[in-house]
Amino acid sequence: MKNWIDNVKWTDDGLVPVIVQDHISNKVIMFAWMNRLSLEASLKQKKAIYWSRSRNKIWTKGESSGYYQYIKDMIIDCDKDVVLIKVKQEGGISCHTGRESCFYYRVDMENNKIEECEKVLKNPDEIYKDEK
């Protein structure tokens, strides 16, 4: 039987966008990219392994901080070109800025400005080294 991964529609760069939610709260905590190799490795290890577009290499989330993302659920969209994963975020921090979520600039739609809506939980210098 054909492997479902053969039907994933990759970008011209061979990537697929990945939305990352906390598996209990459903809070969106991160957005990243995977290539086929990192998607297969993620499935095998049940840990989030991405493709870093800035560093041009495979990147296991948590490899330098210990803050791994354990995959509890994975869902693919109708067009098979987006991956959604629900994870248990080790340490409760997914953002390289030391916040729970990378999504922390809330748009004040009335006044057309942005304001921070997530606290820094840990000094990023202490928890992340070459990760992003």
CB of 58 to a second copy, least distance (A): 19
Q: Which listed residue (14, 43, 92, 123) binds a second copy by CB under 8 A? A: 43
Residue 46 in the binding site for a second copy (CB under 8 A)? yes
Quick one: three-class SS letters along 26-67?
Answer: CCEEEEEEEEHHHHHHHHHHCECEEEECCCCEEEECCCCCCC
The phi and psi torsions of 27 (rounded to 5 degrees) equal -65, 135
| Residues binding a second copy (CB under 8 A) | 1, 3-4, 17, 19, 21, 25-28, 31, 43, 46, 71, 73-80, 82, 84, 95-97, 99, 102-107, 109, 112-114, 117
